[in-house]
Structure 1
Amino acid sequence: MFFDAFGTDAFLLLTAFLLFSGVLVAKFSSRWGIPSLILFIVVGMIAGSDGLGLIYFDDAKTAQIIGVFALVIILFEGGLHTKWATVRSVAGPSLSLATLGVIITSTIIGLSAYWLFELSLLQGMLLGAIVGSTDAAAVFAALKERNIKAKMGATLEAESGTNDPMAVFLTLSFIELTLMPDQSIWMLLPTFFLQMGAGIVLGVIFGKVASFSINRIRLDSSALYPIFSVAFALITYSVTAFIGGSGFLAVYVAALVIGNSELTYRYSIFQFNEGFAWMAQILMFIILGLLVFPGQLFSTTIVWDGLFLSLLLILVARPVAVFLSLIKMNYTIREKIFISWAGLRGAVPIVLATFPIVDGVENSQFMFNIVFFIVLTSALVQGSTISLVAKKLHLVGPKKDVPHHSIELISMGKAAAEMIQYQTNSESAIVGMKLRDISFPARANISAIVRNNEVITPYGETEIKTGDFLYILVEEKYKEQLKKVLEQKIERPAAE
């Protein structure tokens, strides 16, 4: 084999090749209308033993470790970019989907697998538990930069960020019950409440500690702050998991706390974690692609069984779970249909499918192949049509305006200054004002304005317009004063 023949040098070359392929795939995935995770997996399958034969990889345990690590990074990055005000408004529905919704989906698929396949009831329920949750990596990637209504995006992201504890609990419980039939499922229920409780509490604690530490510790280089934040993400997961809590939930909650706090070097941290999350996503899906053998995956049995179960999941189990979970929660029929369609499966089910293989559960390889096929179908069919379905259901929101320019501040020594990015909107009081008329703090200066993807050099006569991105260099002690100026709203006359 290629790897065996050339050892370390081949590994480095192959890693570069796979990352390079992943970057190109990410570049063209949106143009082709195919979710990037599908193409990442295809790269892995092509490089694997049933493809070009560059790598022979069948180590489920290693794939599991890499998958968990990547999911921690992806969840952390997703939580950082999530606005607490938006999540708070959909917290109830999201938690209902993340708990009751997962149970309903898992039950329908589990019973169907038991009736259709040569599986025991516990093995069928195990298969249902594995595919019961939506996937944060797939959902975050699918919704990023797509103009879906904020309520829909927040509901789906919050659900995918918090439904892992239920999926992990059900998966591990059915594995234990399969291996030890005398065990009672009721004895395992306290484990779930421990996972949820510890995940939320430790997530908040580590998030506050991380925010405080980032702002208080003076590091010699601004490049160290993003690494510091990643270290907190890994510590949050490992400590929480060590005491029996949900590490994934803790990481997401901690990221929510950090992302909604005032941070020094905020944009350096965000940009680093966005790039790191992309690398983790590329690596994870390529590794998972290597783990599967296309010759087995696309056999007649797997294709027909997997296709039937995929359609059952997409058209029956997920909609039933959504409609029951969102009863009396102020969602319209169209919104429920969209949430049903956008419940993507991705890395989490595949990573969970490695657990039965590692633990030696009977029929685990069959279950892994079925789960893999379901993920491919979900990502390909649902992931590529999210924007179209949103448009048909009239759930398209305002276009997400993301600046394509970046301005970086290089910290010299321990300078207590930061570059702040702020986008104006129609309610901003400073819109229509000239720079010389705005009461900025004495130690705050606008370095640049980005308008319609063009950089404008600011002068005293420059007028601020709606949608402008302002880049303001300010000393840390004046940040709060600057924030008050920027957040002033237009005073509208009271309705008579």
Structure 2
Amino acid sequence: MFIESFGIDSFVLLGGLLLICGVIVAKFSNKLGLPSLVLFILVGMIIGSDGLGIVYFDNMNTAQLIGIMALIIILFEGGMQTKWATVRSVALPSLSLATFGVLLTSGIVGYIAYLLFDVTLLEGLLFGAIVGSTDAAAVFAVLKERNIKAKMGATLEAESGTNDPMAVFLTLAFIELILIDGSTIWGLIPSFFWQMGLGLAFGLILGKIASVSINRIKLDSSGLYPIFSLAFALLSYSVTQVAGGSGFLAVYVAALVIGNSELTYRYSIFQFNEGFAWMSQILMFIILGLLVFPAQVFTMNIILNGLLLSVVLIFVARPIAVYLSTIGMNYSNKEKLFLSWAGLRGAVPIVLATFPVVAGIEKGQLFFNVVFFIVLTSTLLQGSTISYVAKKLKLTGPKKDTPHHSIELISIGKANAEMVQFQTNQDSAFVGKKLHELDLPNEVTISAMVRDEELITPYGETEVLAGDFLYILVASKHKEKIFKMMETKKRPGTA
């Protein structure tokens, strides 16, 4: 490896340069029309042994460990950002896609792999299981800040956050069936319900414990709260795995519970986890790019068979899985078509593709190379056209606005007060009123407003307009009342 050849200082220099490169790539990925994860992978391939030869890396065990750690962080951040009120309405179809949909996709792709390669049916189904799930890292990254209809975005995010456990279970199950004599598929069914049940239970319990602990334990530094929350993500995964459950499911469920709870230092926690998730994505995809040897992947056999499997996955298996998994669930044909197209593959299939290699499956390296090619095809073709397809199908929603001005949002623990953020819209009861007309409690102050990218110092005669960002300093005892006021809608017929 690089560290052995060039020393620690050079290795640290390379790490810093790669992170800078990753940030720049993320900045310009939308302008280039490509998902950032593809560019991260390309960076890894360029500096790898078949590129510039700066780093030689072929350790599947290390890559697997880094991939799992990164996925925990990415799932945790994605789950915390997911609003339960939005997900609740699409919980049933998302779970159907995450279980029955993954099973259908894996079966169809696995059978085609069995026909294409010189492998047994079980080995073909193992390949199908590896690419059967959509990828949380890819979906979260591609949908972030894109104006996709809320229902579609929620369905895809909930599906991608909960279908990893199914793919992991199927992958490990088929490896066991291949390597261990006497194993039967029927004997694995109880194991599936046990793993999913434990994952759900541990996620709910640890998520609640984390929420209460963050609010009750007074730490000396505000910077410790984000680390404290992240520790529960790692704890959720590890404890659940040791108990024989699905660690990924536990992480996502715990994140949902924590993210939808009222937290002290909420914004510090969210900002830290968002930044750490980006760093994890950059590191994970560059490592996966390093792990790939282009000379092995881009051969005529891999390209032809990979393209054929990609076509089957994108245009046959995924649509069939979506249409059958959402029968009777109030999705239009356009919505089903979009869900079919937005089934991105990403880091999870590549990480899962290391499992057969580590386990010693004969065709493991072949599977890894083909899976990598399929992931590249999926992200390049589907990831770069999601916004276009949504627009053509008329499934775009309001443009997602984010404030361009940074006001430090903190929980002032000793003062028992918090600064909260709220963006108004046309239906908000606040809109059209002057600040002195708002029935705010005495210990509540609107400290600042951002309108059209300009910071406004508010006073009594300042009128609230749709789209304004309000920064409200509120005593903790009035926080619940303020949240209810912010959620209040205008009465019908009110100007």
User: Which residue of structure 1 lines up, in the alignment, with residue 407 of structure 2?
Assistant: 407
Distance 1:314 1:223 in 2: 44
More deviation, 174-183/345-354 = 174-183
SS of 1:132's partner is: coil
**Equivalent residue number for residue 161 of structure 1:** 161
RMSD of aligned residue pairs (Cα, Å): 1.4
Q: What does 1:210-229 correspond to in 2, within 5 Å?
A: 210-229=210-229
Letter of the 2:105 counterpart: T
Q: Would the aligned equivalents of 2:265 and 2:411 in 1 still touch at CA under 8 Å?
A: no
Look up the match of 1:61: 61
Which residues of 2 match residues 321-360 of structure 1 at below 5 A?
Answer: 321-360=321-360
What secondary structure is seen at the aligned counterpart in 2 of 1:471? strand
* Mapped pair 1:252 → 2:252: yes
* TM-score when normalising by structure 2: 0.98
Are residue 423 (structure 1) and residue 423 (structure 2) matched? Answer: yes
Which aligned segments of 4 or more residues in structure 1 are displaced greater than 4 angstroms?
Answer: 409-413
**Contact in 2 for aligned 1:221/1:413 (Cα 8 Å):** no
Deviates more, 1:127-136 or 1:259-268: 259-268
Separation in structure 2 between the aligned mates of residue 413 and residue 270 of structure 1, nearest angstrom: 17
Cα 1:473/1:412, change in 2 over 3 Å: closer
Letter in 2 for 1:432: G
The answer to whether the 8 Å contact 2:2/2:11 transfers is no
Structure 1 partner of 2:130: 130
Structure 2 distance, partners of 1:275, 1:113, is: 38
Q: Give the Cα–Cα distance (whole angstroms) in 2 for the partners of residues 206 and 413 of structure 1.
A: 23
1:450 aligned counterpart, secondary structure: strand
2:431 counterpart letter in structure 1: V
Higher mean displacement: 480-489 or 404-413: 404-413
Contact 2:265 2:410 in 1 (8 A): no
Does residue 188 in structure 1 map to residue 171 in structure 2?
no
Identify the range of structure 1 (177-186 vs 27-36) with the bigger mean alpha-carbon deviation: 177-186
Work out whether 1:121 is the aligned partner of 2:110: no
Letter paired with 1:106: S
Residue 450 of structure 1 corresponds to 450
Tell me if structure 1 keeps the 8 A contact 2:410–2:418: no
State the secondary structure of the residue aligned to 2:182. coil
C-alpha spacing 1:485/1:324, structure 2 compared with 1 (3 Å): closer
Structure 1 residue 488, shift from structure 2 partner: 2.5
TM-score for the superposition, normalised by structure 1: 0.97
1:395: how far off? Answer: 0.6
Q: Report SS of the residue matched to 2:385.
A: helix
State the Cα distance separating 1:22 from its structure 2 match: 0.6
Deviations for 1:446-487, whole angstroms, at most 9, x for unmatched residues? 121011111111111110111111111122222123223323
- 2:286 maps to 286
Q: CA deviation at 1:412?
A: 7.0
Give the Cα–Cα distance (whole angstroms) in 2 for the partners of residues 374 and 5 of structure 1. 33
* AA at the equivalent of 1:306: G
Q: Measured at CA, do residues 409 and 148 of structure 1 come closer, stay the same or move farther in structure 2, by a change above 3 Å?
A: closer
* Contact kept in structure 1, 2:139 and 2:160, CA below 8 Å: yes
Distance 1:440 1:351, change over 3 A: same
Contact 2:25–2:36 (CA<8 Å) still a contact in 1?
A: yes
- What amino acid sits opposite 2:236 in the alignment? T
In the TM superposition, residue 329 of structure 1 has moved relative to its aligned partner by: 1.0
Residues of 2 paired with 1:5 and 1:111: CA distance? 44
Give me the whole-angstrom Cα distance separating, in 2, the residues matched to 1:493 and 1:399.
Answer: 25
- Aligned 8 A contact 2:266 2:411 in 1: no
Deviations 1:343-374 (A, max 9, x none): 00000000000001111111100000000000
1:455 corresponds to which letter in structure 2? L
Aligned-partner Cα distance in 2 for 1:184–1:413:
56
Task: Indicate if the aligned counterparts of 2:268 and 2:410 stay in contact, CA closer than 8 A.
Answer: no
Amino acid at match of 1:179: L
* Deviations 1:239-266, CA, capped at 9 Å, x for gaps: 1111111111111111111111111111
Aligned residue number for residue 311 of structure 2:
311
| Greater CA drift, 467-476 or 369-378 | 467-476
In structure 2, the gaps of 5 or more residues are: none
Question: Which residue pairs with 1:170 in the alignment?
Answer: 170
1:292-331 deviation per Cα after TM superposition (whole angstroms, max 9, x unaligned): 1011011111111111111110011101111111111111
Sequence identity of aligned pairs in percent?
Answer: 70
Structure 1 residue 150 and structure 2 residue 150: aligned?
yes
Matched AA of 1:184 = T
- Alignment partner of 1:379 is 2:360: no
AA aligned opposite 1:440: L
Give the counterpart letter for 1:19 in structure 2.
L
Q: How many residues align?
A: 494
Give the equivalent residue in structure 2 for 1:48: 48
Query: Does structure 2 conserve the Cα–Cα contact (< 8 Å) formed by 1:147 and 1:397?
Result: yes
Q: Give the Å deviation of 1:411.
A: 6.5
Cα offset, 1:2, TM superposition: 4.9
CA contact (8 A) 2:412 2:418 kept: no
Q: Secondary structure at the match of 1:447?
A: strand
CA distance, structure 2, for counterparts of residue 99 and residue 412 of structure 1: 43
1:123–1:193 Cα change, 3 Å: same
Matches within 5 A, 1:23-102: 23-102=23-102
Would the aligned equivalents of 1:208 and 1:257 in 2 still touch at CA under 8 Å? yes
Kept in 2, the 8 Å contact 1:136–1:157? The answer is yes
Give the aligned residue type for 2:353.
Answer: A
Q: Distance in 2 between matches of 1:297 and 1:74?
A: 27
